[in-house]
A and B are shown apart, each in its own frame.
Chain A
Amino acid sequence: MVNACKPKNEAPNIVFEEEVLNRVDNGHLGHKNLSDYGFFTGFLVDLVPAKNVHPYELNTPLFSDYAQKKRFIYLPEGSIIEYHPTEVFDFPVGTVLIKNFYYDDAQLINQKGRIIETRLLIKKAREWQALPYIWNSEQTDAILEITGGAQEISLLGKKLIHYQIPNMGQCKGCHQRNGTLQPIGPTARQLNRNHLDDGGKSINQLRRLSRLGLLSVSEKEAFPKFSVWNDPKTGSLDERARAYLEMNCAHCHRKEGPAKNSGLYLMSTSNSRHALGIMKAPVAAGSGSGQLAYDIVPGQPEASILLHRMNSTEPAVMMPELGRKMIHKEGVALIRSWIASLE
C-alpha cells in the first residue's frame, strides 16, 4: 500500500569480499573427498556400488528442482537394519545414506548432464551427521563443503535457477525429529517397491534386504506401502496427495518436527481435519498467508494457503522453505485436485 510513494529498494551497495576464513579443521566431520569413502568402484561418476553398498528408491520422493536422485545405503559388514512399520528404520552405527543429485543431458540446455551434489547422512554412535559434498566440474570427485553452495542450472522449458546446495545447518532444518537429526525417506512404505537388481531382475527392495539378512524381519512381513504420487494405478487421489504431503511437508509439519508450533500436521497418518489444515487459520504465516484465511478450504484450492505456498518461489512465502528454487507444477496440480475433491 505504500510502495508506490517513493523508490524504496535501490540496489544495496555491497562489497563481496569474504573475510579470510580461518579454515576450521573439518577432519572430525568426515572425509574431505567423496572418493575417500570407497562407496563406489570404477569411475566415481558412474556410481557403481562397492561391497556393502545397496541402491534404493522411494515411492514418493521429495521434490528438489526436478533433480534426479540416485540413492544408496552403505551398511557396515555384518550389521542389520531394525525394521519399523511406520517410522524410519533404526539403522546400525556406521550406516551411511548416500544421495546423489543429478540432471541428465535431456534435462539441461546447452550443458551436459552432471552430478551436482552428494549428501551423506552418517549414523554416529548418538545421532546422524549430515554432510554436503559438491561435485567438481570435471566430475571426478565431490568435495566436502559445509557452507553449501549455489550453481546455475538451466533446465529445458524452465527458467534459469541458482540451484542451492544446502549448508550443513540447513540439512537439519528438514532432517529433524524431536530435535535430533534423522533420515526422512527410508520407511517401510517408501521402500516397498520393486527395483532392478544387479542381474537386471525386478525385485522388491524390502524383500531383497530381508533375503540378504540385512533387515530384522522376514520377507513374508506384510509391508505397508505408499502410493507413487504421480501414478494413479498405485493409489487414490487422496492416498497419493497424502503421500506427497508427508514426503514434502511432514518432516517439519508433524508433532515431533520443527514446525510443530504451527499446529499443522501433514503426516499421512494424521487424521484430524483441523490438524491437516482444513479450515485451520494460520498461526505465524506472516506474508505467507497470501491474504487467505485458512490452510485448506475444501473444494477451493485457490483459497487455500497450503497451495498458495507450494505455488511460490518467494523465500517468505514458499513451502518447503528450503530445497527448491522452482515450483513443482505437477505436485501443485496434484494437491490442487485433492483440495478440489475435499468436502
Chain B
Amino acid sequence: MKVQKRFNNLNSFIKYGFLMVILGTLLGCEGVPSHDPDRNYKSIEKALLSKLMLAKDSTVIQLEEGHFIFKSSLILDNKKHFTLRGRGMDKTVLSFKIQENGAEGLKITNSENIILEDFTIEDAVGDNIKITDTKGITIRRIKSAWTGEISKKNGAYALYPVICENVLIEACEVLGASDAGIYVGQSKNVIIRNNKVYWNVAGIESENSENVSIYNNQAYNNTGGILVFDLPGLTRYGRKIKVYDNEVYDNNLFNFAPPGNIVGAVPSGTGIMVLATREVEIYNNKLKNNNTIEVAAVSYALIDAMSDQKSQENKDPGSSAQIFEEGLNKDLEYDPYPGAIYIHDNTYGEVSWLPNLSNDFGKLFLWKFGFDRPQIIWDGMVPENYLLSNGSLNPDYKICIQEVGVKTAILDAANDFEGLVTDPESFNCEI
C-alpha cells in the first residue's frame, strides 16, 4: 500500500534524525526566557463572579486598576453586547496563579458581540481566555501571559476562540503559551492583526478556520511564528487564509509543548508553516532568521508521524500508517495535503550558515543542502489525484511561489528524499 510504504520511508527519515548528534537542545537557565512582573494580589472573586453571572445584555463591566487573583474560572455565558474592560495592560491584572477549579481563566460561551479590552490575564492552569460558540468577539489590547520561566507546565492557549464567528484579535501581547499564543480553531471570519506574540510554542495558529486574515503582527522568539493547520475529525475544515504584512523573525525557541500535542512536532526555527490547508496566500511578510525554515507546506501524514514518534518513544501502539489510515477512514471529507498555496512578494533575511540542529528538518537540511539551505519547502507528499487524467496538475494541490532570490525545494519526504528537487519549475505559477 502506498501510504504504508511512505511511512516506512518516513520512519527511516526519522530514525536517521535520531542517529545524529543532538546539538542545541540543552539550554542553560540563562537561556530560558522569564517573565517576572511585580504583583500584589487582591481578591474580588465573588464580587466579579456575581457581576458576570447576573449581567444583563448590553452591560459594560469596568475593572479598576489592581492585581486581582482568582481560584476558579470566570464564566460568562449567554450574554449579548457585553464588554469587560480594564484600565490598561498591566494596570488591571486578572491572575489565576492559585487556580483550583476549572482549567480556563476567562471562559465565554454561547454569546454574541463580546468585547474584552485593556487588561492583562495570566497564569491560568489551562487556557487564559477561551471563547466557544460565540458570534462576534473582539479581543483588544489584552496581554495574555504566563509568569516565570517558560515551561511545558504553562497553559496551552493564551487567546483561544474556538467554534466562533466574526473574531477580531488586535493590539494584544501574548507570551508563554505552551501550545499556541493566539489560537483560533474551527472558526469563521477571523482577523488577527497588530499583535505582538513571543515566547510561545506557536505564536499565531489558525486551525480548521475559514476566512482568516493574519496581518501586521510581530511574531518572534516563538518555536514557530505563524501556523495554518487543518486536522481531521473536527467540526469544520479550514480554507481561505491570508497571511500578510507580518514580521516573522527569530522564531528559534526550543519546543516546550507537552508531548502528545500536535505543535510538539513543529521544529524550532519555523517561520510560517501550512499544514494540510487549502487556499492559503502568504505575501508581503518580512521573514528573517527563522533558522530551520522560513516557510513550509506540509501534509498531515508528515506531522502526524513526527508527532507520533515524539510521544511514543517507548510504546508501540501499532504502526503510524495504520493509525493514520484509521483516522482518515473516520473522516472521509478530510484532505491531509496542502494545496492552492500562493507564496509571493515576501522578503527574507540572510540564511544563517548553520541550520537549527535541534530538529530533524535542520539535520536533514544540513545533510542535503550543506550551508546553503532553502527558505521555502514543501514535503512533496501528494494524493492519488495529484495529476489529473490528462496529466496536468490538479489545481487543488497547486503550490505556487513567486519570490526573488529565494531557494525553494520539494523534499519528497515519502520516498526517502530520493526525488528531492531544488528550485522546482512546478512552483513557478500564480493563483
Does the CB pair B42–A14 fall under 8 Å?
Answer: yes
Is A52's CB within 8 Å of the partner chain B?
no
Is B152's CB within 8 Å of the partner chain A?
yes
What residues of B have a CB within 8 angstroms of the CB of A62 in the complex?
A: none
Does the CB pair A16–B100 fall under 8 Å?
Answer: no
- Output the least CB separation between B96 and chain A (Å): 9
Does the CB pair B157–A286 fall under 8 Å?
Answer: yes
What residues of B have a CB within 8 angstroms of the CB of A5 in the complex?
A: 29, 32, 149
What residues of A have a CB within 8 angstroms of the CB of B19 in the complex?
A: none
In the complex with contacts A2-B149, A305-B260, A314-B125, A167-B69 CB distance below 8 A: no
Does the CB pair B47–A146 fall under 8 Å?
Answer: no
Is A18's CB within 8 Å of the partner chain B?
yes
- Output the least CB separation between A258 and chain B (Å): 7
What residues of A have a CB within 8 angstroms of the CB of B101 in the complex?
A: 164, 170, 315, 322
Does the CB pair B42–A285 fall under 8 Å?
Answer: no
Stretch at the interface among A36-44, A116-124, A230-238, A287-295: A287-295
Is B99's CB within 8 Å of the partner chain A?
yes
Does the CB pair A24–B54 fall under 8 Å?
Answer: yes
Question: Would you list which residues of chain A between 1 and 33 have a CB under 8 Å from chain B?
Answer: 1-3, 5-6, 8-9, 12-22, 24, 26
Tell me which of A180, A278, A287 contacts B258 (CB under 8 A): A287
What residues of B have a CB within 8 angstroms of the CB of A311 in the complex?
A: none
- Output the least CB separation between A282 and chain B (Å): 6
What residues of A have a CB within 8 angstroms of the CB of B235 in the complex?
A: 260-261, 263
What residues of A have a CB within 8 angstroms of the CB of B29 in the complex?
A: 2, 5-6
Tell me what chain A mostly uses at the interface: helix, strand, loop, or mixed. Answer: loop
The 8 A CB mask of B67-101 against A (1 = contact, 0 = none) is 00100110111100000000000000001011111
Is A283's CB within 8 Å of the partner chain B?
yes
Does the CB pair B77–A172 fall under 8 Å?
Answer: yes
Does the CB pair A286–B47 fall under 8 Å?
Answer: no
Does the CB pair A300–B315 fall under 8 Å?
Answer: yes
Does the CB pair B148–A9 fall under 8 Å?
Answer: yes
In the complex with contacts A170-B75, A258-B132, A292-B126 CB distance below 8 A: no
Is B133's CB within 8 Å of the partner chain A?
yes
Is A142's CB within 8 Å of the partner chain B?
no
In whole angstroms, how far apart are the Cα atoms of A284 and B186 in the complex?
12
Does the CB pair A173–B149 fall under 8 Å?
Answer: no
Task: Compute the total of residue contacts between A and B using a CB distance below 8 Å.
Answer: 221
In whole angstroms, how far apart are the Cα atoms of A2 and B126 in the complex?
19
What residues of A have a CB within 8 angstroms of the CB of B329 in the complex?
A: 274
Is A203's CB within 8 Å of the partner chain B?
no
Does the CB pair A263–B260 fall under 8 Å?
Answer: no
Does the CB pair B100–A315 fall under 8 Å?
Answer: yes
Does the CB pair A316–B103 fall under 8 Å?
Answer: yes
The 8 A CB mask of A256-282 against B (1 = contact, 0 = none) is 001011010000000011110011111
In whole angstroms, how far apart are the Cα atoms of A15 and B44 in the complex?
10
Does the CB pair B43–A315 fall under 8 Å?
Answer: no
Does the CB pair A18–B46 fall under 8 Å?
Answer: yes
Tell me which of A24, A173, A282 contacts B261 (CB under 8 A): A282
Does the CB pair B261–A18 fall under 8 Å?
Answer: no
In the complex with contacts A24-B50, A173-B75, A300-B315, A287-B40 CB distance below 8 A: no
In the complex with contacts A146-B53, A179-B78, A293-B330 CB distance below 8 A: no
Does the CB pair A286–B109 fall under 8 Å?
Answer: no
In whole angstroms, how far apart are the Cα atoms of A62 and B322 in the complex?
35
What residues of B have a CB within 8 angstroms of the CB of A285 in the complex?
A: 156, 260-261
What residues of A have a CB within 8 angstroms of the CB of B41 in the complex?
A: 12-15
Q: Which 8 A-B pairs have the closest CB atoms?
A: A286-B156, A289-B260, A169-B75, A274-B330, A5-B29, A316-B125, A179-B110, A293-B311
Can you name 13 A-B pairs with beta carbons within 8 Å?
A146-B53, A162-B100, A170-B73, A261-B186, A272-B330, A281-B260, A281-B307, A281-B327, A282-B260, A286-B157, A305-B260, A315-B101, A322-B101
